[in-house]
């Protein structure tokens, strides 16, 4: 269908995923990333253990899933990349889309580096190349980390090589296209990831001491539920893990066919993402329990997250266990695959936006922008200052960039433009799981409160205390300057006119029977009870196309 061309002089129709499976695997591949494996287990452990289930589930139902539905509705209804969708909703809203693209751009360039490391560690697992001291190996011999340098030009050859391979792979996937590239690769890799990771978890649970680790993870601390930071942590985990609010799911859903069960697919994506996290929690803490027992220390002394968990704690666990090399390979291969399927979803946000704006063919954009991103990524993250740049950029693009732009999007879409009912009605027009007032309250009120609180708290801490013990120059360059650059580029790109004859106002194709431009108008007064309720004939169901002309302004649909 993607080959269908319109009338002479018209561009090709937007690409589509050929099946709901291709989209579902792509969306799950995007949602399941490094954060599921290395962030969730520690966040759960640190915020109430077993009791974390309650804030986590509430955050999933009141923020994660509602925002995911919103992203799906935006992309599906306005069928474009993030800037195009916001341009079509309201002409002055275009910069919101470009800020999302900018955030995705910078996350992509450092995210690739971690995938490169994980790929190298998968190979190194066979020989346990890190020796008896994984910590000094990782920071010393492997990264040759120089924490004092603000900008280093000393390249670390093997990291540069691994990074280049990751970039070539990502560019190839995106150049091939949405269905045959993204869809096929995700459909191939996600089942493999599940199988590999299941083997890792089973192997971890069978280790001596696994029960100690699981005991530490799941013993509930009910007192934690009264602590606001635990709730903020739950919302943060759901929010970052599902990758909502900065263009990824919006871009993917713009490639769905018109008749797609959006909410049904969204629920499955969200629960699949959380299911993987729970699985990772079990695997990671079983392994940490084994390590604690081996070293005769408490679990809290070995429990950690992020880079330290994957590249320091896990190599130490692999050193001590039977079949360590096989376990290590499977663990790092899982990390590589989970990261890679998220990487190309991030990069697609950028590729799709440039392709739409400048009316260029996918292949040229993927190769052109991909090469630019790859060079920037190699220059910043394969050098001896790479880890510092990565750490600072990660903090700022996530905790400031994503949170701020998600908040701004919600404020513009509903607080200012009052369009949430349009998106809700669109969802209900094509989807099995209906949304209504509760959904609107979750999207508009709950997320505004939670994201607003998180952002203010984060900004105060960053301004007062800096970040991670880095120098002011390092934080200014890779943190604040990156944010400023994203905003400036977003403004600049919004001024440049759209090339080609892309429709720029309203839904580009069908309005799905939902009018985007309903306004209350004043007409001649008349007796209210004498007005006909519905224009349609009495026997016709409410689904009649004429029904939309009546009470859509009230907006309540479910």
Partner 1 sequence: MSGIAIMMMVLFMVVIWGGLVASALHLRRNPDDMSGIHGDAEYARDEILVEQELR
The one among 467, 513, 515, 555 contacting partner 1 by CB under 8 A = 513
Q: Tell me which H or E stretch contains 216.
A: helix 210-218
Q: Which stretch binds partner 1 (CB under 8 A): 9-17, 116-124, 314-322, 525-533?
A: 9-17
Q: What is the DSSP letter of 207?
A: S
Among 148, 432, 505, 549, binds partner 1 (CB under 8 A): 432
Q: Which is nearer to partner 1, 49 or 116 (CB)?
A: 49
**How many residues form the binding site for partner 1 (CB under 8 A)?**
55
Considering only 139, 145, 155, 433, the residue that binds partner 1 (CB under 8 A) is: 433
Q: How far is CA 46 from CA 303, 305, 349, 399, in A?
A: 9, 10, 33, 19
20 part of the interface to partner 1, by CB under 8 A: yes
Minimal distance, residue 79 CB to partner 1, in Å: 7
Stretch that binds partner 1, among 3-11, 111-119, 357-365, 476-484 (CB under 8 A): 3-11
- Regarding 129 and contact with partner 1 (CB under 8 A), the answer is no
Question: Minimum distance from CB of 313 to partner 1 (Å)?
Answer: 21
Both structure tokens of 458: 């984060």
For partner 1, which residue of 139, 145, 188, 271 counts as binding (CB under 8 A)? 271
Instruction: Decide: is 542 part of the binding site for partner 1 (CB under 8 A).
Output: yes
Nearest to 241 by CA among 80, 98, 32: 32
Give the span between the Cα atoms of 137 and 122, in whole angstroms: 15
Give the span between the Cα atoms of 398 and 422, in whole angstroms. Answer: 29
Residue (45 or 142) nearer to partner 1, CB: 45
264 forms part of the interface with partner 1 (CB under 8 A): yes
d(CA 524, CA 519): 16
Euclidean distance between the first and the last CA atom of the chain, given in angstroms as a whole number: 33
Binding of residue 51 to partner 1 (CB under 8 A): yes
Judged by CB under 8 A, which stretch of 125-133, 299-307, 526-534, 537-545 contacts partner 1? 537-545
Rounded to a whole number of angstroms, the minimum distance from the CB of residue 327 to partner 1 is: 22
**Main-chain dihedrals φ then ψ at residue 155, nearest 5 degrees:** -80, 145
Residue 433 CB, nearest approach to partner 1 (Å)? 7
Q: Does 99 help bind partner 1 (rule: CB under 8 A)?
A: no
Single out the residue of 237, 273, 277 nearest to residue 63, CA to CA. 237
- DSSP assignments along 161-201, one per residue: HHHHHHHHHHHHHHHH-IIIIIIHHHHHHHHHHHHHHHHHH
- Give the nearer residue to partner 1 in terms of CB position, either 99 or 302: 302
Cβ–Cβ under 8 Å, residues 383 and 107: no
Q: Compute and round to an integer the Cα radius of gyration of the chain.
A: 24
Q: Which stretch binds partner 1 (CB under 8 A): 231-239, 267-275, 290-298, 300-308?
A: 267-275
Of 76 and 357, CB closest to partner 1:
76
Of 119-127, 258-266, 313-321, 325-333, which segment contacts partner 1 by CB under 8 A?
258-266
Are the C-beta atoms of 289 and 299 separated by less than 8 Å?
yes
For residue 101, the minimal CB distance to partner 1 (Å) is 23
Give the Cα separation of 429 and 419 in Å (integer).
16
- Which positions from 210 to 249 touch partner 1 by CB under 8 A, shown as an x/- string? -x--xx-xxxx-----------------------------
Q: Which of 3, 228, 259, 527 binds partner 1 (CB under 8 A)?
A: 259
Which residue, 256 or 387, has its beta carbon nearer to partner 1? 256
Mark the segment that binds partner 1 (CB under 8 A) among 90-98, 277-285, 457-465, 529-537: 277-285
Per rule CB under 8 A, is residue 359 in the interface with partner 1?
A: no
Cβ proximity of 338 and 193 under 8 Å = yes
DSSP per residue, 327-377:
HHHHHHHHHHHHHHHHHHHHHHHHHHHHHHHHT--HHHHHHHHHHHHHHHH
- The stretch near partner 1 (CB under 8 A) out of 332-340, 360-368, 491-499, 507-515 is 507-515
Site pattern 280..299 for partner 1 (x: CB under 8 A): -xx-----------------
Residue 404: CB minimum distance to partner 1, A: 29
Instruction: Tell me the CA distances in angstroms from 525 to 102, 373, 530, 552, one per residue in order.
Output: 50, 61, 12, 20
> Is residue 458 within 8 Å of residue 399, measured between CB atoms?
yes
Q: Residue 181: name the closest of 368, 372, 366 by CA.
A: 366
Site for partner 1 contains 79 (CB under 8 A): yes
Give the total residue count for the chain.
Answer: 558
Q: Quick check: 241 and 35 in contact, CB under 8 A? A: yes
Sort 275 into a burial class: Cβ within 10 Å, 0-12 / 13-18 / 19+: middle
In sequence order, which ranges of 466-547 are alpha helices (DSSP H)?
Answer: 472-475, 481-495
- Of the candidate spans 228-236, 311-319, 465-473, 506-514, the one that interacts with partner 1 by CB under 8 A turns out to be 506-514
- Which token pair is 367? 């190769």
The answer to whether 22 and 179 are in contact (CB under 8 A) is yes
Residue 543 touches partner 1, criterion: CB under 8 A: yes
**By CB under 8 A, residue 10 contacts partner 1:** yes
Chain positions contacting partner 1, by CB under 8 A? 1, 4, 6-7, 10, 13-14, 20, 49-51, 53, 57, 79, 211, 214-215, 217-220, 257-261, 264-265, 267-268, 270-272, 274-275, 277-278, 281-282, 428-433, 503, 508-510, 512-513, 542-543, 545, 557
């Amino acid at each position: 269908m993607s080959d269908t061309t319109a009338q002479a002089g018209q561009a090709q129709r937007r690409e589509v995923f050929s099946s709901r499976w291709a989209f579902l695997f792509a969306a799950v591949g995007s949602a399941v990333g490094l954060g599921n494996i290395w962030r969730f287990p520690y966040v759960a452990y640190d915020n109430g253990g077993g009791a974390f289930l309650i804030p986590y589930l509430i955050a999933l139902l009141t923020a994660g899933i509602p925002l995911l539905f919103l992203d799906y509705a935006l992309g599906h209804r306005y069928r474009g990349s993030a800037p195009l969708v916001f341009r079509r909703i309201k002409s002055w809203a275009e910069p919101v889309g470009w800020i999302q693209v900018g955030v995705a751009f910078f996350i992509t360039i450092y995210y690739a580096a971690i995938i490169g490391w994980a790929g190298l560690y998968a190979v190194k697992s066979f020989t346990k190349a890190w020796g008896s001291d994984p910590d000094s190996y990782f920071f010393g011999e492997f990264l040759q980390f120089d924490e004092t340098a603000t900008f280093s030009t000393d390249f670390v050859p093997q990291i540069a090589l691994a990074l280049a391979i990751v970039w070539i792979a990502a560019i190839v996937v995106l150049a091939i296209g949405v269905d045959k590239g993204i869809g096929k690769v995700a459909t191939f890799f996600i089942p493999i990831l599940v199988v590999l990771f299941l083997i890792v978890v089973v192997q971890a649970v069978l280790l001596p001491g696994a029960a100690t680790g699981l005991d530490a993870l799941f013993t509930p601390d009910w007192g934690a539920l009264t602590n606001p930071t635990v709730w903020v942590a739950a919302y943060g985990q759901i929010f970052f893990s599902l990758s909502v609010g900065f263009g990824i799911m919006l871009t993917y859903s713009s490639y769905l066919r018109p008749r797609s069960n959006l909410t049904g697919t969204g629920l499955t994506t969200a629960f699949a993402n959380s299911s993987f996290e729970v699985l990772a929690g079990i695997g990671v803490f079983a392994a940490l329990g084994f390590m604690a027992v081996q070293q005769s220390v408490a679990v809290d002394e070995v429990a950690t997250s992020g880079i330290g968990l994957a590249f320091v704690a896990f190599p130490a666990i692999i050193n001590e266990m039977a079949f360590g090399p096989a376990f290590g390979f499977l663990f790092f291969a899982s990390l590589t695959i989970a990261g890679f399927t998220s990487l190309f979803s991030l990069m697609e946000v950028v590729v799709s936006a440039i392709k739409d704006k400048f009316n260029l063919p996918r292949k040229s954009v993927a190769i052109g922008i991909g090469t630019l991103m790859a060079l920037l990524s190699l220059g910043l993250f394969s050098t001896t200052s790479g880890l510092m740049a990565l750490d600072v950029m990660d903090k700022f693009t996530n905790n400031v960039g994503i949170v701020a732009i998600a908040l701004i999007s919600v404020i513009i879409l509903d607080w200012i433009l009052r369009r949430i009912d349009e998106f809700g009605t669109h969802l209900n027009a094509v989807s099995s799981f209906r949304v209504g007032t509760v959904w609107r309250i979750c999207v508009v009120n709950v997320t505004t409160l939670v994201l607003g609180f998180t952002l203010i708290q984060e900004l105060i801490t960053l301004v007062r205390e800096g970040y991670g013990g880095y120098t002011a120059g390092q934080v200014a360059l890779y943190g604040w300057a990156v944010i400023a650059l994203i905003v400036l580029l977003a403004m600049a790109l919004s001024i440049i006119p759209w090339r080609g004859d892309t429709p720029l106002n309203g839904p580009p194709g069908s309005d799905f029977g939902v009018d985007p431009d309903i306004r209350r108008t004043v007409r001649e007064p008349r007796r209210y009870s004498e007005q006909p309720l519905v224009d349609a004939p009495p026997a016709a169901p409410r689904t009649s196309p004429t029904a939309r002309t009546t009470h859509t302004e009230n907006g309540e649909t479910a």
